[in-house]
Chains A and B, each alone.
Chain A
Amino acid sequence: MAKREVEEINAGSMADIAFLLLIFFLITTTMNLPQVHEERLPQKSDVEFLLNEKNVLQIMANKNDKIGIEGEFAEIEDIQNAVKKFYQHKEGTPNQPQYIEVSRKICEDTLESLENALNVYPDAPLFKIEQDAWTRRLDACVAFGSGFQTLPNNATVSIQLDNATKYVTYMSVLDQIMQGLNSLRDSLCKDKFGVSFERLNDKVESDKQKISAIRQVYPKKIMKEKNRSVQ
């Protein structure tokens, strides 16, 4: 009697298994994106800005990479606290900037008067910038459900470097500033939205609004001063 023929294995489901594996790896694999610090260079301009001493937090690094804050020698780790104090201090502290109040009503009133001004001077770039800024502030008020205080427009952290300052010092100063700023943002975020700032994802629309709102309260404002020899 002849042997029974071996039946062919059905390979139809192989594709399913393959796709299952493919999808599994697709989901679980994460790519490591290059890590960077972003900076926007200022427009080339010869206009000198007059800044109120109070509204500037001055950070210096000399040719030996020694750090100075507001004219006094300091350690690099001190920058973080100086930045925090600059952005968040008790109203009326001497040598610190005065806050401006932002509330829904103030935003709406300002936007209305800007609207009127723009009707008269439709091409005034300054008004348009102001309009953008106040629109974002209004959005922030809506997101928080209340008004807030923030630094005036001309308040800024200023970095002065010597030509011979090392790049690593510059990066560390920027890092310290961002660490100070992000810890303030983080505590505000936990307070208002109950999540940490890092967890917010700017790809999600509702998170994006929150990020933008928090940035209105603690904006990143860094100014680099022109070449100058720092003692």
Chain B
Amino acid sequence: MSKFSKGKKRKDPAISTAALPDIVFMLLFFFMVTTVFKEKESKKLEIDKVAIKETIDLEKNIKASYFWIGRVPGKVDDFRVQLDDDLINDYSEIREYLIKLRKNPEYSQVWDSRFFNVFKVDKKTEMRIVRKVHDELKEAEAFKVVYSVNREK
């Protein structure tokens, strides 16, 4: 008489799951690396981007403020400027916003090297609007501008 019955159904040994973390980590890393964050897009304005041939890559690890200039959806010729999250009502808000931004040490340290003003502008925008924004940038001493475009093949 024994405690264990012998010779009956025998279970297969459990499959080792030691490698499971590796697989999971691999997948994790894979998605971490391949994920390209969708370029920030404006929810408030419609923008039809320009396509040109000679473009350069936007540098990595930059600090940036984003300017969108485009049409208010549903309206015909109502071009507005959006700075980061909010629509601008008066151009001088841009200056105030940037000067405030610069007080933050995170920004002030890289202001002349890695701080960019990224413009996403609708094709049909008149230059007067772009100019007014530029004038505000000069007032705030933020001189680096990049225009986000599509690359024409």
Residues of A that sit less than 8 Å from B by CB: 2-3, 5-9, 11-12, 14-15, 18-19, 21-22, 25-26, 29, 31-44, 161-168, 170-172, 174-175, 178-179, 182, 227
Contacts and interface: CB of A to CB of B under 8 A. Distances in A.
Contact of A164 (B13, B58, B121, B128): B128
Interface in B83-139: 118, 121-128, 130-131, 134, 137-139
Nearest to B118: A36
13 contacts: A5-B10, A6-B13, A11-B16, A11-B19, A31-B34, A36-B58, A37-B149, A38-B147, A41-B138, A41-B145, A44-B138, A167-B122, A170-B130
A171 B16 contact: no
Those 8 A-B pairs whose CB atoms lie nearest each other, nearest first: A14-B19, A178-B54, A175-B52, A35-B55, A163-B128, A168-B123, A33-B57, A36-B146
Interface residues of B, number: 53
B29 A14 contact: no
Interface of B: 6-7, 10, 12-13, 15-16, 18-19, 22-23, 25-26, 29-30, 33-34, 36, 39, 50, 52-58, 60, 69, 118, 121-128, 130-131, 134, 137-139, 143-151
B56 A163 contact: no
A35 B151 CA distance: 7
B127 A37 contact: no
B29 A38 contact: no
Contact of B22 (A15, A35, A179): A15
Contacts of A6: 12-13
A137 B130 CA distance: 35
Contacts of A3: 10
Contacts, number: 146
Contacts of B138: 41-44
B55 A166 contact: no
B19 A34 contact: no
Contact of A40 (B13, B58, B144): B144
B29 A168 contact: no
Contact of B127 (A9, A26, A41, A167): A167
B5 to A, nearest CB: 12
B27 to A, nearest CB: 9
A39 B57 contact: no
Given A36-B55, A167-B50, 17 more contacts: A14-B18, A18-B19, A25-B30, A25-B34, A32-B36, A33-B58, A36-B56, A36-B58, A39-B147, A40-B144, A43-B138, A163-B127, A163-B131, A166-B126, A167-B122, A167-B125, A179-B54
